[in-house]
């Protein structure tokens, strides 16, 4: 099954389907069921993720928002984004840590119950990216709080994020 995107040409009012075969729906279901089984086993039904923007350019956030669209719909697999680090199993940090966000990130880390999983999402969070030498940036996330896992990409696609989450859950289970 293919996901169709529609491109509208205003001049002729024609709608042309464009096939996106990056991740077929059947592959997504298989991946999602594996994630769901791991989550049920490790977290009793749902994985609560608190996403923290430490100073990003919002590219990674757009990919995370895509995980909630009707194609990916990660909620059905037991992945929930929560508003408070007190309710989170995982901190997912995007962007290089700006000086203004360093203290807030530390407080969010301290508020997260143990065992906590901290993931740096995207190249900016892992290395500081193109912002690393800026006067306004402290640096990568691991310079401010301990990081358990990294998901590289500029930005990583929803497929990469889901595959990486499965790898993280497998590793977390084996520890």
- Evaluate whether residue 1 is within a structural domain: no
Which pLDDT band holds residue 137 (cuts at 50, 70, 90)?
A: very high
DSSP 46-78: -EEEEEEESS--SHHHHHHHHTTSTTT-GGGGT
Q: Percent helix, strand and coil across the chain, each rounded to 5?
A: 40, 25, 35
**Residue 159 maps to a domain:** yes
Q: Does residue 126 sit within a domain?
A: yes
Whether 34 is covered by a domain: the verdict is yes
- pLDDT tens across 73-108, in order? 999 999 999 999 999 999 999 999 999 999 999 999
pLDDT at 16 over 60: no
What is the tally of structural domains in the chain? 1
Q: What is the CATH number of the domain that holds 131?
A: 3.40.50.12280
- For residue 14, being part of any structural domain is answered with no
Q: Tell whether 4 is covered by a domain.
A: no
Residue at 72 is within a domain: yes
pLDDT at 9: 36
Structural domain including 42 reads 25-174
């Amino acid at each position: 099954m293919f996901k169709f995107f529609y491109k509208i040409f205003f001049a002729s009012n024609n709608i042309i389907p464009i096939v996106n075969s990056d991740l077929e729906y059947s592959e997504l279901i298989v991946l999602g069921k594996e994630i769901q089984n791991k989550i049920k086993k490790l977290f009793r039904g749902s994985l609560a993720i608190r996403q923290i923007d430490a100073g990003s350019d919002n590219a990674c956030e757009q990919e995370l928002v895509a995980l909630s669209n009707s194609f990916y719909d990660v909620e059905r697999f037991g992945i929930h984004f929560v508003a408070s680090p007190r309710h989170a199993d995982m901190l997912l940090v995007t962007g290089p840590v700006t000086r203004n966000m360093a203290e807030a990130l530390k407080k969010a880390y301290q508020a997260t119950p143990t065992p906590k999983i901290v993931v740096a999402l995207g190249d900016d969070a892992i290395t500081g990216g193109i912002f690393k030498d800026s006067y306004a940036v402290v640096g990568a996330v691991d310079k401010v709080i301990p990081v358990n896992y990294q998901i590289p990409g500029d930005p990583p696609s929803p497929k990469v994020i889901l595959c990486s989450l499965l790898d993280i859950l497998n590793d977390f289970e084996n520890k």
